[in-house]
Every structure is written in structure tokens, then in C-alpha cells.
Amino acid sequence: MHKLEYKLKHGNPYPPGCNPTVGGVNFSIFSRHATAVELFLFDSSDSEHPFQIIQLRKEKNRTFFSWHVFVKDLPIGTWYSWRMDGPYEPRQSGLRFDKEKKLLDPWARAVSHKRWNRAAACVPGDNCQVAMRAAVVDLDYDWEGDTSLRISSEKAIVYELHVGGFTRHPSAHVKYPGTFAGLIEKIPYLKELGISHVELLPVMAFDEQDVPQHTAELGLKNYWGYSTHSFFSPHPGFCVTPEQATHIHEFRDLVKALHKAGIGVILDVVFNHTSEAGSSGPIINFKGISGDMFYHLDEFDKSIFHDYTGCGNTVNANHPLVANFIISCLEYWVREMHVDGFRFDLASALARGEQGEVLHNPPVLWGIELSEQLAKTKLIAEAWDAAGLYQVGSFPGYRWGEWNGRYRDIVRRFIRGDKGLIQELATRVCGSSDLYEPHGRLPISSINFVTCHDGFTLHDLLSYNHKHNEANGENSQDGCNNNLSYNCGFEGETQDPAILALRRKQAKNALAILLLSQGVPMLLAGDEFLNSQHGNNNGYCQDNELSWLDWNLAKHNADMVNFVQNMIALRKRHPSIMRRHFLTGKPSGERQLPDISWHWSNADEVPCWDDPGARLLRYTLVGVDIHEADLHIVMNMDHEPVMITLPTMKGRYWCLAVDTSLPPPRDIVHPKDQKRAHKSSYQVAGRSVVVFENH
């Protein structure tokens, strides 16, 4: 316990947050309307009482709207929080100052939620004993020469995973389950799989208690992490030493280790809303500091939060100070944490102006795109919000990739057997030129996926016609109803060998189509070994074995893992699948052959694109140079087989590379083991994908 108080200086308004420097620590926080500000210093994250309370004086510790103080000789590892007084007039101005509430620093680099009680922050009164706290952090770290990776987008293969759920299951056999350190232990698996990037579900500090009351009463908590409160801090729940200020280095250790393995890091970030929810939600930081500025409020009654996110509030992202906060945060994660890109949850909410209107040129989005520090990072938008704004193909900017929901839907419909889709399917597997080419964008603008964290896993997509979310405590009213799934003849688990075989083949079909498509493929972690959530398509609150990856399945379904590994390898050896520019169908290159040719069952026949019963898509991709093998690809989702004739390629012969209808290991064959096709015809089984390579 400190016996003497630390001496003070006025401090500086910049940079914001808590910044150690020579001789002490500078604290700075923005609040335009605060009338009194106090800084509380604690020995540890769970100290019952502060060892020093510093009262800032307006005439000495305020510059414009920043409050600041310099604490001499304050050591690294000290914990702190703020307290502010000011107007409480929610209806008139949106201000909600509570002079008894302890507030987190919005710029905190490390936070603890050990004593956190969300309910206490939702009602008036002192919550010192149960408030979150921030730590004074030393940003020095030995990166050992590490820098952000520069993997070109056309070569990217993204793997979406949840840091906790990836290793929490006992079958993961890691020393520190559910942590950044646990994920490091699984890097050899990721490298062997062949992916280029991990896309981590939210790792910025989030509120695990942010779930509906009836869900909390079931003992459930916020699992996915789309409830951020501290955008500069790694989530302490993913750290081995969450109560030590050095826990931020655990995330850096992960990034450094992934980079050494040649794998980039993309963060799923949630700037559309925060964990403070609506008018009845907790005061954590922004509400108690500048709630009138940070959120979209009703023009006539500012106690009402406009909700374009379905989470109670919407960040007022295009307010100049908020936009600066967001861009500074992203730059911090690139500069200090070496991440390689970001996927923006409900990104279209960031395209709304201060009155909620849709902006043609949103300042925050253009600021992100034009930031010099972010120039080499991946930017991916979930190009819609919860209020109906849908911008797939029209998201503001040029450098952004987009989660292509239209790709997902057409592939799901095609593999379940819907008819008459081949024209749109052809457009989607070729990079969705209808969406992106008119705006000067590229195939890499399309982030292709069939499944993601939000919805069915691939196994469940092929095992359930309906969602089964009873465990969430909402009478299965939550989660998407339009899953475009097909249970292959039985709802849920079965021992029927015919149904199991069909599901397995359909899983291979979906993964093959995804990895053969132009654009950037994204796989959901666990799909490669048929991980299941037993029909739950909204596992946001299921931090348990329902959502955790069962690594026993990786052994049980080793043939599926092998199939995905080899499909990824096939993609990597074919630049013709990873084109940066759209296919034209025109002769080009040394061989003067069309880059793509479309076929019907006979190689010389042109597809009947408007055939309402068509379930066959077939085409030839020519190598980008004379050294690359050509590909002949057949996707037959009809129940019946089809006999095809192979196209003639002068000086080359075809070899079967993939046939999802064949048992492993014949379902996918490495080039050195491929055999020449001596017949000019081949029977493609019903509901299967076939690929030929030539030599």
C-alpha cells in the first residue's frame, strides 16, 4: 500500500489515454461537458479502495475539451479509473453524467473485468467495488524483427475462428485452453491446412455479461464478443494472466508466432455499437463521458438511442471526434500490434450520418481507406446493418472487400438442388463482376463464403432444415430463419449410412465450389472436420461444448481434413483461380485461348443459361501461362449422373484431380499420382463436383 501520494504536474492533452514517459505517466481524457473530473489510482485490478484520488482542476488540467494530469514516478502496472460530474439531462441533451460511477478510459490499452458487475452499472450509485479498471501499460516489446505480412488478396485463404472456442474443448489438448497462448499451440495445424489468414472473432475487450436477462438466468454469457467496451485493449478473458498489465503481450505473442508461420491476422472489429446498450444499459465509459457525441440519439428526445444494429445503440461514427477515435484505434492495432487487416461487423452502420441518413461519402470510411498507416491492410466489410441498409456491391470506397452474402445464398441453394440457378452461379464463381466491375473494383472485392460464425456450421447446413436454438432461452425465436439448408432426408443426427454419405459428399461439394471460385475464400473453423452445433444457428451465448470445436472430429473425419488440405493446395498451384482481374472469355496469352470457356454436357455445346431445370455448371479455365495446367470443372447438383465429353486441348491430356463422389483417397488426387484419362468422356455422378487438370 502506498504511504505517500504521487506528485503531480498539469500534464498534456495529447496523446489521449494513459501514456508512460520519462519521469511518470500522462493521463488525458476527452469530455466537453464535464464540470468535475477525478482520477482514481489502485494497486491492483481488484483493490477495494484507491490509494490516491486526484482531483483535476479546470484552470490547470483542462485544455479545450481534454482533461489531463501528469503523475510523477507512477509505476507501470498501476490500475486506474475515472469519475466525472456534469449535467444529467438525457431528454434535452443526451448527457448522462453520474458523479458516483467509475469510468473506464476509452483509450485503455489493458483492462480487467475481474470484479465487473453489469447490473450495478445500469442503476445510479457508486459501483467502485464492481467496476472495470484499466492498467498503465508499457508498450515496449521485442518483436524480433516482425512486421505485418503483405500477402496479396488474390492469394488469400481466410479461416474464421473464435479464439476461445478454438481450444477450449478438452480434446484440444493445449496447456492454456481458450486463450491466445492456446491458439499458438494450434499453429502447426493451421499451417498444415494451408490457410493464409486467420480472421479472429472479436478480441477487443468485450462484456461477457451483455446478454438478455432470461439468457443470463440460464447461466449463459456473451460468447462471440460483439459487445466491445475497450477498443484499444485485448480481451482479458483470452489471456493467461488477465490481472497483469503485461497481458497485452500475450496477443502480441500470438501475432508474432502466426507471422513466423506465414499466417496473417485479421481482426473482426465492432465499431457499429458498444456494450453500453440503450437508455437502460450500463454506464461504462462513453455514456458517462460524451454520450451525446458518441451515439446516434433521437433528434427530439435524446434519451432515445437510435438502434441500427439490433444491440441497443449505434456509434455516431461520422462525428469528427468519433471518426478520429476509430481511425486512431485501427492504426494502433496495426502499428503496435502488427495486425494485417480488419473485418468490420455491420459495416453499413458506419455509412450513416449524424441523423442516421445514408451518406454517399462517409468520412470515417474514406478516412480508413486513405489512412497511410492502414494502406497495406486488408479491409473487409459486412456490407449491411440491422436496419435494412444492404450495400453488397455498393459499399463506399474502392479498397474494401465485402462479405458476399449473394455468393453464400446462391451456393447454398445450388448444392441443395434448386433449379435454374446456373447463370447467377456462373457469375458468383467468377468473382461477381455484376456487383464489382461497374464500380472499378476487382474479384478480390468478393469475400466468398458458404458458412460463417453467424448461422449453421457446414455440417448443420446439411443436417437440419430448421434451426434448433432452444438452448439460448428465447424459445428459438432468435437466429436466422432463412438458412437455405437441406438435411439430406432426416432432421438431425442419424446412423443411416446413405444419408451420412450424402451429407459428406455435399460438404465436399460446398468446399470444392468455394475453393474453385474467383475472389477470396473464407472457411469457418471446424467445417473441414464437420464440427456441429446440433442445429443451433445463433451460438452467441454458448460458451460451452455446443460451440467449442471438438478436435476428436479432426481424427474421426481425417479424410475431410485431407480433402480440404488438398483443395487448398490445388487452388494455390493454379493462378487461374486466383486472378486479380475479371475473366473475359477472350483469347489471350501465348496460347491465344479464351481464359474461360463454358460447356454443356457436350464440350462443343454452349450452356442454356435460362434453362429453368438446369443444375449443371461446366467450364474450362486456361492457365495464365504455358507452365500452368488448365482446369476443367464440372458442378452437377442434379440427382442423376451426366455423361460429359472432355474438351480437346492441343498438346495436353486430361487427368482426374477431384471427384467428390469417389471414396477417399480417390476423391482428390495429387498431380504426381494422377492418371491420364484415356477416354474422351466421363460420367459425372449426381450431386458431385469433378475437376480435371491437364499435363
Q: Looking at the annotation, which residues are catalytic?
A: 345, 382
| Pair 116, 209: CB distance under 8 Å | yes
**Would you give the distance in Å from CA 178 to the centre of its chain?**
17
Q: State the Cα–Cα distance between residues 289 and 277, nearest whole angstrom.
A: 15
> CB neighbours (10 Å) of residue 481?
9
Residues 570, 61: Cα–Cα separation, whole Å? 62
Asked if residues 66 and 29 have their Cβ atoms less than 8 Å apart, the reply is: yes
CA distance 273 to 350: 10
Q: What three-state secondary structure class fits 572?
A: helix
Q: Is-cis flag, bond preceding 362, omega within 30?
A: no
Q: How many CB atoms lie within 10 A of CB 366?
A: 14
Q: Let me know: does 688 contact 633? Beta carbons within 8 Å.
A: no
Asked if 566 and 560 count as a contact pair (C-beta separation under 8 A), the reply is no
Strand-pair category, 95-96 with 17-21: unpaired
What is the C-alpha to C-alpha distance for residues 532 and 526, in angstroms, rounded to an integer? 8
* Contact call for residues 692 and 632 (beta carbons, < 8 A): yes
The grid coordinates listed for 549 are: 470445436
- Residue found by looking up cell 498489465 in the block: 245
Burial 297-329 (b: 16+ CB within 10 A, else e): beeeebebbbbbbebbbbbbbbbeebbebbbbb
Closest residue by Cα to residue 590 from 638, 650, 511: 650
Q: How far is CA 427 from CA 410, 422, 518, in A?
A: 10, 9, 10
- Measured distance CA(110)–CA(489) in Å, rounded: 50
As to burial, measured by CB atoms within 10 angstroms (0-12 exposed, 13-18 middle, 19+ buried), residue 445 is: buried
Residue 324: partners with Cβ closer than 8 Å, 6 or more residues away: none
